[in-house]
Amino acid sequence: MIEVRVGDISRLTVQVDAIVNAANSALIPGGGVDGALNRAAGPKLKQAMAEIGGTPTGTAVITKAYDLPAKYVIHAVGPRYIDGRHNEEALLYAAYEAVFQLAHEYELRTLAVPVLSAGIYGYPKEAAARILYEVADRPLNQKITTQVIVFDDFWLNIFKDVQRSHLK
């Protein structure tokens, strides 16, 4: 099940099994979702990320969530968008697939997920939303409640369009 909600992923009012972090490949806390989650989780999250040391673009790793309303944080690394001809689509699919693979391994039933790569990494918003929706809507992943958490209302229309075109 996929739900799209406007809000701040670092200040969820409901408990989820895992929150997905839009991480960089060095796993060094930065800005955006990553910075907000690290501030909300406390210093132990940064320490846990440092112990892992990094993960390539298109992959994901998991840590405890510490002071966040979740058991885990899944740190997914989406690609920087260059021009669409540098394997960006395959890497973004791979990042979401890695998220759901970890969700299955850890038997997670609820995820809070941002739209990876669509902020400072410059991925076209409609394409990023489509890829997230397609991966979350695969039959195996439909058993997981996926709460897509977005900052702005315009995302609601983007996801309505994605859902409409996906149902055709």
What is the identity of the amino acid at 104? H
Q: Where are the alpha helices (DSSP H) in the chain?
A: 32-41, 43-52, 88-105, 125-136, 154-167
83 as an active site residue: the answer is no
| Long-range CB pairs of 139-144, under 8 A, 24+ apart, other chains included | 140/100, 140/104, 141/100, 141/103, 142/1, 143/109, 144/1, 144/100, 144/103, 144/108, 144/109, 144/110, 144/111
DSSP track, 89-109: HHHHHHHHHHHHHHHHHTT--
Annotated active-site residue in 34, 83, 137, 152:
34
Q: Which residues are catalytic?
A: 34
